[in-house]
């Protein structure tokens, strides 16, 4: 399996991400966020500038470029090997940089959209991300971020036979959604929208049954309070409060 061995925060491989099954899984993950952006920007959507912070191997940028035709795409990642792998799948301008750096390798106030998917849980001081990212957002821009959903099913991952252990040892700051909401608002962001979504997971058996029932009944699992506790991810859309 081909992966960036230097990037211990990202445990996926090229084969799992870009295989037909793996890519379908990734599309399901990212499409709700892209749909939100389409509605938010309307006719301007094809022209928006997007910075993806923590690119993995470029799947999100690949989808924006090859399926939605966006051209003003940028990425930032601290791992050269991951950047090299992502460059095989997207022509986005990806630059080496670390969230914790005071200076990022971009001009300030340059982006309509900043995305940060499954990154903040790796940071010892996630408040620094919110403090730094504001400098690179234009007036009226938004930040879209996700992080693991720490509801009861996530807490049950260590239960033998029932839980699915977290394979990523660098998840050092997995927190409840209320924590991320408080942190964002304390850093002068306003919550435009927030939801628990992506995939039903974390423990065995129950999520598969619930997912099958939702498909059968044509229900959105993200909209059902009990079911969404099994969601993999918590997502927030934020804008800067000014004045």
Q: What is the CATH number of the domain that holds 23?
A: 3.40.50.150
Residue 2 lies in a domain: no
Six-digit token string for 88? 């095989």
Residue with tokens 């090299």: 84
The pTM of this model reads 0.95
Per the structure, the count of domains in the chain is 1
Residue 6 lies in a domain: no
What per-residue confidence (pLDDT) applies to 225? 86
Sheet holding 111-117, edge to edge: 93-96, 73-77, 50-53, 111-117, 137-148, 231-240, 189-200
Cα 174 to Cα 195: distance, rounded to the nearest angstrom: 16
Range with top average pLDDT, 112-116, 198-202, 218-222: 112-116
CB of 203 within 8 A of CB of 107? no
Residue 8 lies in a domain: no
Q: Can you give the residue range of the structural domain that contains 61?
A: 14-240
**Nearest Cα to 236, choosing from 142, 124, 173?**
142
Mean pLDDT (whole number) for 93-120:
96
Share of the chain above pLDDT 90, in %: 88
Span of 37-51, 58-72, 212-226 with lowest mean pLDDT: 212-226
What per-residue confidence (pLDDT) applies to 226? 87
Residue 66 lies in a domain: yes
Span of 11-25, 87-101, 110-124, 216-230 with lowest mean pLDDT: 216-230
**Nearest Cα to 132, choosing from 166, 178, 101?**
101
Q: What is the length of the chain?
A: 243
Question: For all residues of the chain together, what is the average pLDDT?
Answer: 95
What are all long-range contacts of 41-48, with beta carbons under 8 Å and residues at least 24 apart?
41/112, 44/112, 45/70, 46/70, 46/71, 47/72, 48/72, 48/112, 48/113
């Amino acid at each position: 399996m081909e992966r960036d061995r230097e990037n211990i925060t990202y445990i996926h491989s090229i084969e799992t991400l870009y295989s037909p099954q793996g890519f379908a899984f990734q599309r399901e993950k990212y499409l709700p966020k892209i749909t939100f952006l389409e509605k938010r920007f309307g006719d301007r959507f094809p022209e928006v500038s997007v910075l993806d912070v923590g690119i993995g191997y470029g799947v999100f940028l690949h989808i924006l470029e090859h399926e939605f035709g966006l051209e003003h795409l940028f990425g930032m990642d601290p791992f050269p090997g991951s950047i090299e792998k992502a460059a095989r799948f997207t022509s986005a301008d990806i630059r080496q940089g670390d969230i914790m750096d005071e200076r990022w390798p971009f001009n300030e106030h340059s982006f309509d959209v900043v995305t940060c998917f499954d990154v903040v849980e790796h940071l010892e001081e996630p408040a620094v991300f919110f403090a730094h990212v504001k400098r690179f957002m234009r007036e009226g821009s938004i930040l879209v971020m996700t992080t693991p959903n720490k509801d009861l099913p996530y807490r049950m991952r260590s239960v033998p036979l029932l839980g699915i252990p977290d394979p990523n040892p660098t998840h050092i700051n997995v927190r409840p959604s209320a924590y991320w909401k408080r942190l964002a608002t304390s850093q002068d962001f306003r919550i435009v929208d927030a939801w628990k979504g992506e995939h039903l997971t974390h423990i065995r058996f129950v999520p598969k049954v619930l997912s099958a029932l939702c498909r059968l009944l044509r229900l959105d699992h993200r909209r059902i309070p009990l079911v969404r506790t099994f969601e993999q991810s918590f997502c927030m859309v934020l804008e800067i409060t000014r004045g």
